[in-house]
């Protein structure tokens, strides 16, 4: 880190640390093309052109190296990329097509999954998927299964599939921000992480968040003490991201995850009380950002989702206000 495309990597683990450290840095490092057509900055949330963009997933098998074919076949069979693409196609009206390419034919310097600056192409290098799988092969041999994660899924392949779904959610967050010109109140990388949590928790369940947290915890352990390079990156420090993933998951259903995440010590008790309001704000924030871009078929449901998310945020903010003095004294 930072994951600027073309940056050197000192060891295999450093290649894996690029997970989710994607297009924000790649814009500077790869020299990707600028967005063309459609909206322009300052034009507001409403489309300036007819919206008929579709997300498609393409596996360019002829470009995949022999050693990476197995993991590409695994991801293709799981259809996790297609599941995210289908959700976007049902939910939103995009101004442009979005091509998701699982391919070895990537722009020079690209080693990790990356979204192009115009939000119209996502590259997923097969070698990147293979690095994730290698990391999980080490995890299942050396790290005791965290209690929240089902024993039946604590294996290399399932962890690879689930974490890839989260990682692709991050990439989709970048693509939506860029195509729809969504306003960020912070770093784009934080928002992309947030979309990955928002989409997977609401639409898939806890698996992707848990798998991503396991992966990032392993990466952080191998990284050791943060360096100037990691601290100055436009991405949060690796271990912090793992806790953010767990915080949003816990906040989405504190009763469900109290024992397995907080009582077990996976999520510190000093952080946990803030997570229900943090999740409510994230959930409401993304529904609100996406609302002007709902497809006609989804608009009624989407408006209701946004309304319910707003009510949860109001309730969680009131609850936090009642407990904030106790929380501060306990920290």
Give the pair of three-digit tokens for residue 135: 């990391």
pLDDT at 319: 94
Q: Are 197 and 248 in contact (CB under 8 A)?
A: yes
Residues 6+ apart with CB under 8 A from 104: 60, 63, 64, 65, 68, 125, 126, 127
Q: What is the pLDDT of residues 43-73, one digit of tens each?
A: 444 444 467 899 999 999 999 999 999 999 9
* Cβ count near 56 (within 10 Å): 12
Cα(207)–Cα(205) distance, integer angstroms:
6
Which structure tokens are listed for 71? 């993991």
At 78-106, the pLDDT tens digits run 999 999 999 999 999 999 999 999 999 99
Nearest partner of 164 among 189, 190, 130, judged by Cα: 130
Q: Which two tokens stand for residue 65?
A: 């190296």
41 pLDDT above the threshold of 90: no
pTM listed for this prediction: 0.84
Q: If pLDDT is split at 50, 70 and 90, which confidence band does 74 have? A: very high
Which tens digits make up the pLDDT trace of 243-259?
Answer: 999 999 999 999 999 99
Is 60 exceeded by the pLDDT of residue 40? Answer: no
Paired residues of 115 in beta bridges: 122
Phi, psi angle pair for 16, to nearest 5°? -75, -25
pLDDT at 52: 84
pLDDT tens by residue, 272-303: 999 999 999 999 999 999 999 999 999 999 99
CA distances from 155 to 161, 199, 242, 253 (A): 10, 23, 19, 25
> Helix H segments across the chain?
12-16, 23-30, 69-78, 80-91, 126-142, 156-180, 188-203, 207-223, 228-231, 238-252, 254-257, 275-290, 299-330
Percent of the chain with pLDDT over 90: 71
């Amino acid at each position: 880190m930072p994951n600027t495309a073309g940056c050197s990597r000192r060891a295999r683990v450093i290649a894996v640390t690029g997970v989710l450290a994607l297009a924000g840095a790649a814009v500077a490092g790869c020299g990707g093309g600028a967005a063309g057509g459609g909206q322009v900055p300052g034009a507001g949330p409403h489309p300036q052109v007819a919206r008929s963009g579709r997300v498609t997933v393409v596996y360019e098998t002829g470009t995949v190296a022999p050693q990476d074919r197995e993991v590409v076949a695994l991801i293709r069979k799981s259809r996790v990329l297609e599941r995210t693409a289908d959700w976007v196609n049902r939910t939103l009206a995009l101004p442009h097509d979005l091509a998701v390419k699982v391919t070895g034919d990537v722009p020079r310097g690209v080693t990790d999954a990356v979204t192009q600056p115009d939000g119209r192409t996502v590259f997923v290098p097969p070698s990147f998927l293979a690095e994730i799988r290698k990391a999980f092969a080490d995890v299942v041999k050396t790290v005791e299964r965290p209690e929240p994660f089902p024993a039946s899924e604590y294996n290399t392949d399932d962890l690879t599939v689930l974490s890839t779904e989260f990682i692709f959610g991050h990439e989709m967050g970048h693509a939506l921000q860029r195509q729809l010109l969504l306003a960020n109140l912070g770093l784009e990388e934080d928002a992309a992480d947030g979309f990955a949590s928002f989409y997977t928790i609401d639409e898939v369940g806890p698996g992707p968040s848990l798998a991503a947290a396991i992966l990032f915890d392993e990466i952080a352990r191998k990284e050791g003490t943060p360096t100037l390079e990691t601290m100055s990156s436009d991405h949060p420090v690796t271990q912090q991201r793992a806790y953010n993933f767990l915080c949003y998951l816990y906040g989405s259903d504190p009763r469900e995850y109290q024992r397995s995440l907080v009582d077990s010590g996976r999520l510190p008790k000093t952080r946990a009380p803030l997570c229900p309001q943090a999740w409510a704000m994230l959930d409401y924030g993304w529904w609100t950002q996406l609302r002007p871009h709902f497809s006609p078929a989804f608009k009624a449901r989407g408006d209701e989702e946004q309304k319910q998310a707003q009510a949860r945020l109001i309730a969680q903010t009131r609850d936090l206000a009642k407990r904030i003095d106790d929380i501060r004294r306990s920290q």
